[in-house]
Structure formats: structure tokens, C-alpha cells
Amino acid sequence: MTLRVAMIGYGFMGAAHSVGWRQAPRVFDLPDGVETAVLVGRNAEAVAEAARHWGWGEAATDWREVIARDDIDVVDIVTPGDSHAEIAIAALDAGKHVLCEKPLANSVGEAEAMAAAAERARPRGVRAMVGFTYRRVPAVTLLRDLVAEGRIGKVQQVRAAYRQDWLVDPEVPLGWRLQKEHAGSGALGDIGAHIVDMAQFVTGQHVVAVSGTTETVVKERPVVGERAGFAGTATGETGPVTVDDVALFSGRLDGGALASFEATRFATGRKNALTIEVSGTDGALAFDLERLNELRYYDRAAPAVVQGFTTILVTEPEHPYVSAWWPAGHMLGYEHGFTHQVVDLVRAIDGGTDPHPTFAEGLSVQRTLAAVEASAADGSRWTEVRS
């Protein structure tokens, strides 16, 4: 069987997903073939060029027509968050498997409707998955596995941060990611969603309460072009930034651990610094995306003379996903997580199992983000996360 894929959207994430779809069947032994069949976007000329560049069989401008086609098996959604719910629900109701970029939606209500659609489709063998791709970095999967094995004992504290600096310049144009009606939220939803999911993934615990604050550092930005995108001609006007630039929050996990979270696009000098450190009764584990082939491990049982964080180079064939790639010591990169995402999705579809993270897991993250916003609006008071 060959799974024919239609991807809705073709920007930065579209490029990353395209690499994943093309690499996975060439590197891994998949139970089903994969065909990058149709790329969909609103601008006919631009989407046709993107389809040619990234190797999609054809281009289209009407996602509804594409979803209605009998020759499409999987719909991959990489559009801004304001269209996730409509596209995903329509695709699931049409019997298509769905991969949807994070965050799942722009609101809890939308995410609940998407999770309900996934649950309706499930008895028909239709699968749905959220694109929290960093789960598929081998070092992160290994971190999860070591925690689950009890290598660091009982988890007591988690520190997670995602720091970027691409908005430090106040002349960066007002794009869709800075507008609430399109993005839902700013740093909180865009990159904060990743660290909430990662904390829950690696510990096996769920955030049950939060206390947080948010801030919009630059409140007006230049308008570029007719749709305030990142390409075009400056208009000389400015428009309001309606999302957060920085989100700081604490969390309580249902296993008793405490967590701290930082999501910011104003961390000068930090380009893509996703970090997580998990501390337990018997040791600790730490990961930094800017050193994504490494995992640091501290063992409290080691003799005092050799105690300290040890760096594990996660490139051995025994490590998650790595055996399909290069000889030990040869590094993997950012794009490999998208390939591993396709591998897991295709195998789950073939095996008739739910791929993770499910839409229900995406809804869990969405509820946490909403609780952070509510806490920030209420003076950083502790706010329960809806279950």
C-alpha cells in the first residue's frame, strides 16, 4: 500500500515536513510506501513553485477539494493555527489520517472539537497526530526512556525553557505570528507548547496547576505588504502586537514534581535554545537542543571522586531511531525529527494503533496554555488546568 499525502501550507514548517515525508521511506524500512502527492496553498504561483522545489506531485489552491478526493490518504496541516480546527475536522470526517502541527489549535474549544473529531474517526481506523517533533530527537526519546527505567529515581523538579531572539529588533515586521487572531498566542503557544509537551512526555506526568505571567515587550511593529506578512513592501505604518513576547510560569505535576517554564523570543543571543533538566532522587538528566546529539546524565550513586554530569553522545545504533542512519559518532540534525515523525505515523497507521502525541495529548497542552493565560490575567495566581 502507498499512502498518498496532501500537505496544506508550504512555509517554513512545510519545508521541514516535506523533508520528513521524502526521507522517511528512503532511510527506514516502512510497512507502507509514501507519495508526496499534493501541496496546497492560496497563492497559485507560489504553491506551484514550492511543490516543484520540495518534490510534490502537484499543486492546488482549494484544500476542501483536495480533502474530498478519493486518492488522498493523509492530510498534513502546517498552516497558521487559526485554520487548524476547520481543516483537521473536515479531513477526519472525510476519512483521512491527519498530522497537525502544534499547537493543536488557537483555543481550548477548537482543540476539544478536534479531539472529538479524532475520537469519532478512530473506530473507522482513521488516525490523528500532533506534530510535537522534538519528541523525535533521539536524545529526548532516550531521556524519556531513562526516566521511565528509574535511572534518576523519583522525579522531583523539572526546568524547561525555550529561548529565541528573533524579535529583539523592534523593526521586525508585524507577521501572523504576532497577531492573536491568527496565532492564538505568542511565545506561549508557539514555543511554550513545545516545553509543556516535552515536560509531560519525558516525565510521564501531567501539569495540573500553573502560576504565570506574560509580557508584550514591543507593542507596535512595522506593517509590511497588504497582509502584514514577512515579505513585501513597507507601508510606513505600524500595527499592534496582540500576543505575548515572553511567558514565564511555574507548574505542579500530578506526580508531585514542581516545574518551571520560560518561553521567550527576546533572549538576546539565543537562536533556538530549547532546554530541559529533570532532577530526581537518584540523579538528573539534561538536554539542550542547540547540542541536540548530546544528553547529560548525573548519577548520584557514582563515587564522589568521579561525580558530575557525564555527556552521552547519542549517535549509537542502540539509541532511538539512530540505527537507520550513519555510523556511530556521525551527527543528526534538526530535520531528522521530522523524518522520525513520519516513520512513527506510518507505522501506527499500518499497525492500527494510535500515533503519539494524539489529539487528546495536544488538547492537554492547549488546556495548560489556557490556564497560564488565565493566571497571568489574574495576577499570577495559581490556576488549575482543566482535565
Query: Is there a single domain that holds both residue 175 and residue 103?
Result: no
Work out the average pLDDT over 259-283: 98
User: Which of 104, 130, 156 is at the close of a domain?
Assistant: 130
Q: Which domain range does residue 296 map to? A: 135-355+365-377
Query: Is there a single domain that holds both residue 158 and residue 24?
Result: no
Is the per-residue pLDDT at 228 higher than 50?
A: no
User: Which of 130, 148, 170 is at the close of a domain?
Assistant: 130
Query: Is there a single domain that holds both residue 179 and residue 280?
Result: yes
Give the pLDDT band (50/70/90) at residue 205: very high
| pLDDT at residue number 230 | 47
Q: Give the three cell numbers for residue 376.
A: 497571568
Separation of alpha carbons 325 and 336, rounded Å? 10
Query: Is there a single domain that holds both residue 112 and residue 244?
Result: no
How does pLDDT run across 287-306, given as a tens digit for each residue? 999 999 999 999 999 999 99
**What per-residue string of b and e applies to 305-342 under the rule 16 or more CB within 10 Å gives b?**
eeeeeeebebbeeebbbbeebeeeeeebeeebbbbbbb
Average pLDDT, the chain: 96
| pLDDT at residue number 387 | 84
User: Which of 98, 130, 162 is at the close of a domain?
Assistant: 130
| pLDDT at residue number 180 | 94
| pLDDT at residue number 234 | 65
Which residue's C-alpha cell is 532532577?
Answer: 279
Q: What is the DSSP-derived secondary structure letter of residue 378?
A: T
Cα distance between the two ends of the chain: 38
Q: Give the three cell numbers for residue 79.
A: 498552516
318 located within any domain: yes
Query: Is there a single domain that holds both residue 75 and residue 142?
Result: no
Query: Which residues touch 248 (CB under 8 Å, ≥6 apart)?
Result: 212, 213, 214, 261, 262, 263, 264
383 located within any domain: no
Give SS3 for 294. strand
169 located within any domain: yes
How does pLDDT run across 87-117, given as a tens digit for each residue? 999 999 999 999 999 999 999 999 999 999 9
